[in-house]
Structure 1
Amino acid sequence: MGDVWRAYDTVLDRPVAVKRIRQQSLTSPALAEEFVKRFQREARITARIQHPGVPQVYDAVLDGSHDRLFLVMELVDGVPLSAYVDPARPLPVSWAVAVAAQVSTVLSYAHEVPVIHRDLKPGNVLVARDGTVKVLDFGIAAILRTDVTKLTATGSPLGTYQYMAPEQVRGGRITPQTDLYALGCVLHELLGGRPLFTAPGEYQLMHQHINAAPTPLRQVRADVPPPLEELVLHLLRKAPEARPADTQEVYARLLPFLPQPGEAEPEAVGPTGRPDPTALFRRPYAPRERGGRQQGQDAAGSPSTASPALPPPVPAQAQADIDEAYEHFGALLEEERFSQAAEVLAEAIEPAARALGAENRKVLELRRNRAAIQLLGGDYRAALPEFEALADAYARVSGPTGANARECRAQAARCRAELGQVTDALSELQSVLAVVRAVDSDVSEEAVELRHDIGMLLLAQGRSAEALKVLEPLHEDLCMVLGPDDEMAVEIAGALALIRLDLDGPPA
């Protein structure tokens, strides 16, 4: 699809990397438009991860004629991590742990955006000359989101089978814990000198990731400390929620095996000629703090009212301000500038609440649209408390079983699923579905979306039998109402095919 070239920025006098689309890949106007969108998403996603372990995006040239489509990025002078894996020459424990710790800090920043890498592997990790580890190809996350208007899209299996988590193999919902499993695979390979699992074909590898127990590292290499072996096995647990809570926990458990600030270079690193990834810990930096409440928001996720109250505008002026905000919001949405669109609505909410009342229909609609755009743009941590607060507000205004309250509860559950809180998400979605079934058809648009989400979450958790009971009748309903070529029907057919492969059973 594309090439990466070494180039030179003549204005700023520095070498750069240029990633460009091959003209022969643009076989139709529709495909060209799709590549432009994917390229733009890759540039935006990568640019949002502010960490030295992610190559910077300097510019994106997206020519309307499609003659020039390229990203200008930081040029990394480094070697892929895969080049250092050699069964005959084990890597020093401190070297491997320093690489894993650097990768975990990168993931902590990415997951805060939040972006899930989905294809973490030694070939996507470069070690620069100064020992800095760079994680490449976060663009995979962008490429998977081919339909940005679908808020609950799930990715079909995509990645490298040697490093794919069980839920990814099954085609279920991807969470930050998916990246933690891949990190466990990489660290096991660095310390053990060979991939976690090997097999002659993809099916056998898929089966091993779902069923086979990983070999404890101390059976391969006796000098691996027992707590480090325990951490790797924890990362490699089959169920996403059984793995470490987040990358901050992983980083904390790696720290005891890293050099302390001020220590000299480890003797095992220097003489080999390899870069020294432990240097950053002798001159340390740490992952960003865990996500918390945003400044300027109260516990309900609404803008703070600590600033001095202004005279309330007349209702006509309030309506004009709301109309202007929506007009600006719509223009930004067309350009997929989600963060800025959410800010535009946020600026309109507080004046409207003062003029019309905090639980006025128009004010709640502004807040709901802002939360929806935060969800659409991937800012699940900000959207979750707002949807929960809105569900409570709508319950007070129009009853807990009303359509708006149901929608906000479901959207809050989807945010929880994206943040890895799968058990809570499933419980809430099933609760909302029970209400929908009591007031509407089982094949209503709302019920179908809820049944789809529940089935895919069950599949991601490895609960294949339960997922089958949900997805099989849903597929039948979709085929009957919308036909087998419906987009969701096709997606569910693929999930059912994976279930029927019986990956949890003995290999074929």
Structure 2
Amino acid sequence: MRSEIVGGRYELIRELGAGGMGQVYEGFDRHLRRRIAVKFPHPGLGHDSDWASRFLREAKIMASLSHPGLPAVHDAGVMPGSPERPYLVMEYIDGVTFDDLLDRHGPLAVPVVAALGAQAAAVLAATHRRRICHRDLKPSNLMLCADAAVKVLDFGLAIAPDVQLTRYTSTGQTLGTPSFMAPEQVEGREVVPQTDLYALGLVLYELLTGERVMTGSSPYVVWDRQVNSTPPDIAAERPDVPAEQARLLMSMLAKSPEDRPASASAVHEVLVRAAGAPATLPEVTDGRGPVAMYAMALVANTVDGAAPGSAYADRNESAATDFSRGDLHRAVRRARRIADDSHYDAALAELSAVVAVAEPLLGARDADVVDARVRLADLRRENSDYPAAIEAYRELVDELTVERGPYDDQVMYCQRNLAACEVHTGDFREAIARLERLHIQTEARYGADDPRVSEIGAQIDRLRAARPPY
């Protein structure tokens, strides 16, 4: 039997796994002579006219992320046929899933569970910054490698936007696994970063107890328990779990997202303080390898020589207790209302103060913080403080282009507003040059017939006509 070749170079060797949304194969790249993983959407979704473009768009988002806990994306394409089948070529991860760890060892040592969970939380912190939620975190999607690194798998199919999800779930392709679905998923409400934290909490609980937390005779029974049942306090099940870690775990399992930790970073800060070496597991055969060496050097260069999560946590503990994403969202909405009443100074002062608190806690490039920074730049532009707005937009453009690339929606939004501010300061030449680059990028992304392309073209024409002679 001849091997199937994808994209003229990727040889499919064997199926590694299949779920409700996709299939993954071990493959071999004949050009670069390396093992790979090739992912396809589930055949049941192949007849959906929008699925191929959605799948490939999501592949591009994942390709823009770079993190040691995420498989690298190498390529993407579409196999011809009826129907066409999009595919994603990714790094092949050689390791053991958390499911297999439990089957082999039963409940794991507390420091090991903390170390595994801290790595998973670090990956979630990176993806949540871009508003990418996993939606299907479970032991089989978490893998421990021989060098003690944890990889979070199956993001490529799980990040579909909330828009039109009912079309896929109604065909029997549920986005999520009942035993690890948060109550808001079960009830069809908005998926948020805390949705992934709930699933991670269930994974950690299972690693500590050796037993699946939410089970039942049917998916409907499990869904009902997710909404209405809370597992016993982990401190009663595992008295050796430190009190801080036990409180964190039970808060991750809160039924309301608002009652869970504020972020994956907050989860990481607690877990990393209790973490021990996963090298005690026999599956870790390269605990002194290059990855461990790099991590040790990174820790050695923390500020003032402090261990991760110690001095940093002390500095931010009171602020983290009193501040949440909800506070940031409310501040943005309140600033907008105040500005609508023409009280720009008050709106700017309030939003600036909240962003100053949010940046060190959530990160300057966190998606919610970026939204607030963009709104802050917008308020400065509306208040005719064009030099301050230019500085803010430029900073956003520079930072976001490095992380997301020049075709990101917010990058292009900031570029256009930056050009408008440059016009008000008399820099027509720079504004026109900026808009000309943006015109090319917008056409490349959305197509020549998109109204945004013609709007930018008309704006360039108006500026050329109004530009004073040099």
**Coarse TM-score class (shorter-chain normalised):** 0.5 to 0.7
Task: Kindly state the Cα deviation for residue 201 of structure 1 after the two structures are TM-superposed.
Answer: 2.2
- Cα displacement string for residues 224-246 of structure 1 (whole angstroms, at most 9, x for unaligned residues): 22222211111111111111111
The aligned residue for residue 426 of structure 1 is none
The aligned residue for residue 300 of structure 1 is 376
The aligned residue for residue 250 of structure 1 is 267
The aligned residue for residue 11 of structure 1 is 31
Given that 2:147 and 2:284 are in contact with CA atoms closer than 8 Å, whether structure 1 keeps it comes out as: no
What does 1:236-315 align with in structure 2 at a 5 Å threshold?
236-259=253-276, 269-270=280-281, 272-274=282-284, 280=292, 290-292=362-364, 300-302=376-378, 305=387
- Cα displacement string for residues 370-421 of structure 1 (whole angstroms, at most 9, x for unaligned residues): xxx9xxx9xxxxxxxxxxxxxxxxxxxxxxxxxxxxxxxxxxxxxxxxxxxx
Determine the C-alpha separation between the residues in 2 that align with 1:94 and 1:276: 19
Decide whether aligned partners of structure 1 residues 167 and 276 sit closer, same or farther in structure 2, where only a CA change above 3 A counts.
Answer: farther
Decide whether aligned partners of structure 1 residues 342 and 126 sit closer, same or farther in structure 2, where only a CA change above 3 A counts.
Answer: same
The aligned residue for residue 132 of structure 1 is 149
Task: Give secondary structure in 2 for the equivalent of 1:70.
Answer: strand
Amino acid at match of 1:115: I
> Which structure 1 residue ranges, 4+ long, deviate > 4 Å from structure 2?
24-28, 63-68, 144-148, 273-289, 306-309
Given that 1:42 and 1:143 are in contact with CA atoms closer than 8 Å, whether structure 2 keeps it comes out as: yes
Identity of aligned residues (%): 34
Given that 1:104 and 1:250 are in contact with CA atoms closer than 8 Å, whether structure 2 keeps it comes out as: yes
Determine the C-alpha separation between the residues in 2 that align with 1:13 and 1:125: 26
Determine the C-alpha separation between the residues in 2 that align with 1:87 and 1:72: 30
What does 1:457-468 align with in structure 2 at a 5 Å threshold?
none
What does 1:77-476 align with in structure 2 at a 5 Å threshold?
77-86=94-103, 89-145=106-162, 147=164, 158-259=175-276, 269-270=280-281, 272-274=282-284, 280=292, 290-292=362-364, 300-302=376-378, 305=387, 339-355=407-423
Determine the C-alpha separation between the residues in 2 that align with 1:103 and 1:184: 11
TM-score of the superposition, structure 1-length normalised?
0.54
Determine the C-alpha separation between the residues in 1 that align with 2:53 and 2:204: 34
Amino acid at match of 1:35: W
Decide whether aligned partners of structure 1 residues 273 and 147 sit closer, same or farther in structure 2, where only a CA change above 3 A counts.
Answer: closer
Decide whether aligned partners of structure 1 residues 274 and 20 sit closer, same or farther in structure 2, where only a CA change above 3 A counts.
Answer: same
- Cα displacement string for residues 26-51 of structure 1 (whole angstroms, at most 9, x for unaligned residues): 764xx2x3231232033123213321
Decide whether aligned partners of structure 1 residues 184 and 59 sit closer, same or farther in structure 2, where only a CA change above 3 A counts.
Answer: same
Decide whether aligned partners of structure 1 residues 254 and 227 sit closer, same or farther in structure 2, where only a CA change above 3 A counts.
Answer: same
Given that 2:390 and 2:422 are in contact with CA atoms closer than 8 Å, whether structure 1 keeps it comes out as: no
Determine the C-alpha separation between the residues in 2 that align with 1:186 and 1:255: 16
- Cα displacement string for residues 124-177 of structure 1 (whole angstroms, at most 9, x for unaligned residues): 1111121211111113443355659xxxxxxx9731111111222211111111
Task: Give secondary structure in 2 for the equivalent of 1:85.
Answer: helix
Task: Kindly state the Cα deviation for residue 68 of structure 1 after the two structures are TM-superposed.
Answer: 6.0
Determine the C-alpha separation between the residues in 2 that align with 1:15 and 1:68: 21
Given that 1:115 and 1:141 are in contact with CA atoms closer than 8 Å, whether structure 2 keeps it comes out as: no
The aligned residue for residue 356 of structure 2 is none
Given that 2:390 and 2:418 are in contact with CA atoms closer than 8 Å, whether structure 1 keeps it comes out as: no
Decide whether aligned partners of structure 1 residues 166 and 25 sit closer, same or farther in structure 2, where only a CA change above 3 A counts.
Answer: closer
Given that 1:118 and 1:178 are in contact with CA atoms closer than 8 Å, whether structure 2 keeps it comes out as: yes
Determine the C-alpha separation between the residues in 2 that align with 1:115 and 1:142: 6
Determine the C-alpha separation between the residues in 1 that align with 2:46 and 2:226: 37
- Please list every run of 5 or more consecutive structure 2 residues that lacks an aligned counterpart in the other structure: 1-20, 166-172, 300-307, 310-359, 392-404, 436-441, 447-470
Given that 1:16 and 1:74 are in contact with CA atoms closer than 8 Å, whether structure 2 keeps it comes out as: yes
Task: Give secondary structure in 1 for the equivalent of 2:89.
Answer: strand
- Cα displacement string for residues 62-110 of structure 1 (whole angstroms, at most 9, x for unaligned residues): 3576656321110001121111114973211121111100000000000
Determine the C-alpha separation between the residues in 2 that align with 1:54 and 1:146: 25
Amino acid at match of 2:33: D
- Cα displacement string for residues 344-388 of structure 1 (whole angstroms, at most 9, x for unaligned residues): 443333333444699xxxx9xx9xxxxxx9xxx9xxxxxxxxxxx
- Cα displacement string for residues 183-229 of structure 1 (whole angstroms, at most 9, x for unaligned residues): 11000000011112222222322222222232122322332222222
Task: Give secondary structure in 2 for the equivalent of 1:7.
Answer: strand
Determine the C-alpha separation between the residues in 2 that align with 1:242 and 1:341: 31
Given that 2:27 and 2:35 are in contact with CA atoms closer than 8 Å, whether structure 1 keeps it comes out as: yes
Decide whether aligned partners of structure 1 residues 159 and 277 sit closer, same or farther in structure 2, where only a CA change above 3 A counts.
Answer: farther
- Cα displacement string for residues 9-37 of structure 1 (whole angstroms, at most 9, x for unaligned residues): 23333221122357x65764xx2x32312
The aligned residue for residue 323 of structure 1 is none
The aligned residue for residue 318 of structure 2 is none
Amino acid at match of 2:256: A
Determine the C-alpha separation between the residues in 2 that align with 1:221 and 1:341: 47
Decide whether aligned partners of structure 1 residues 308 and 166 sit closer, same or farther in structure 2, where only a CA change above 3 A counts.
Answer: closer
Determine the C-alpha separation between the residues in 2 that align with 1:37 and 1:338: 20
Task: Give secondary structure in 2 for the equivalent of 1:171.
Answer: coil
The aligned residue for residue 329 of structure 2 is none
Amino acid at match of 1:167: E
The aligned residue for residue 60 of structure 2 is 44
Task: Give secondary structure in 2 for the equivalent of 1:222.
Answer: coil
Task: Kindly state the Cα deviation for residue 299 of structure 1 after the two structures are TM-superposed.
Answer: 7.0
Of structures 1 and 2, the one with the larger relative CO (CA 8 A, separation 6+) is 1
- Work out whether 1:55 is the aligned partner of 2:71: yes
Task: Give secondary structure in 2 for the equivalent of 1:120.
Answer: coil
Amino acid at match of 2:267: V
Amino acid at match of 2:177: T
Amino acid at match of 1:81: F
Task: Kindly state the Cα deviation for residue 284 of structure 1 after the two structures are TM-superposed.
Answer: 5.5
Determine the C-alpha separation between the residues in 2 that align with 1:198 and 1:73: 32
- Cα displacement string for residues 286-329 of structure 1 (whole angstroms, at most 9, x for unaligned residues): 7997232669x7872248736999xxxxxxxxxxxxxxxxxxxx
Given that 1:19 and 1:72 are in contact with CA atoms closer than 8 Å, whether structure 2 keeps it comes out as: yes
